[in-house]
Amino acid sequence: MTHDLVIFDGVPASGKTTMVRSFRYSHGIKSYNYKRLGLVNIATEILMRIAPHLQMNEFICGDPVMGMDATFLRKISSMILSLEILYKFMQYSLIFLAIFTNKTVVVDEGPSLGWANYLNLLYNKNALGRNGVVLLMRLDLRFLWFISKFHKVQIYFIDRDQATLNIFWQFKGHKTPYDVRYANMVRYSFKLFAGMSPNCITIRYVYA
């Protein structure tokens, strides 16, 4: 068996995590969760505990940074970008090392969800800036291109009809309605990624 990188991407509540768990338990494959904005979310949670007035609303899509005051986020855009670049280097380095020690590594959450989070910050909070978002997108593409030079990279984008997504969302215990707007942003990000990704990466759209 070759050393492969398999990424399950897709809209929220599409069943990505369930598929990753299935691979892990049935085939004994190493799994890895790469959720974007990891260091940023940790930093903003700490800031909001120190200064509660910075929290303006409830977290959106599970990201604490989306609950922070937009004016303050604009002031620390450079810090947000620097933390995310550092976090991206850390995560891809760990993934690359994991592939060397395991024949196949399955990753939960891919570029489409990550890019939607960046666009969410840009358009809803005016943070990161257009150039910052483009830089983060290009880094994803370059890292995946680099890994594809040594290992086979496969990305599966999972999508479902809205009724099924609503049911899965409720099964996960969410009390708020399913965010259709955010899901459409994830789909848009997938189209961007599919159009920009290197030919050496296998990309499949799965409508289940």
Domains, the chain, in order of start with CATH, read 4-207 (3.40.50.300)
Tell me which amino acid residue 174 is.
H
184 in Cβ contact with 166 (< 8 Å):
no
Question: Whole-prediction pTM value?
Answer: 0.91
Report the range of poorest mean pLDDT among 15-19, 63-67, 99-103, 110-114.
99-103
pLDDT at 62 over 90: no
Region 76-99: mean pLDDT is 94
pLDDT tier, 26 (very low <50, low <70, confident <90, very high otherwise): confident
pLDDT at 185 over 70: yes
Region 26-45: mean pLDDT is 89
Write out the two tokens for 203.
């990309």
pLDDT at 56 over 90: no
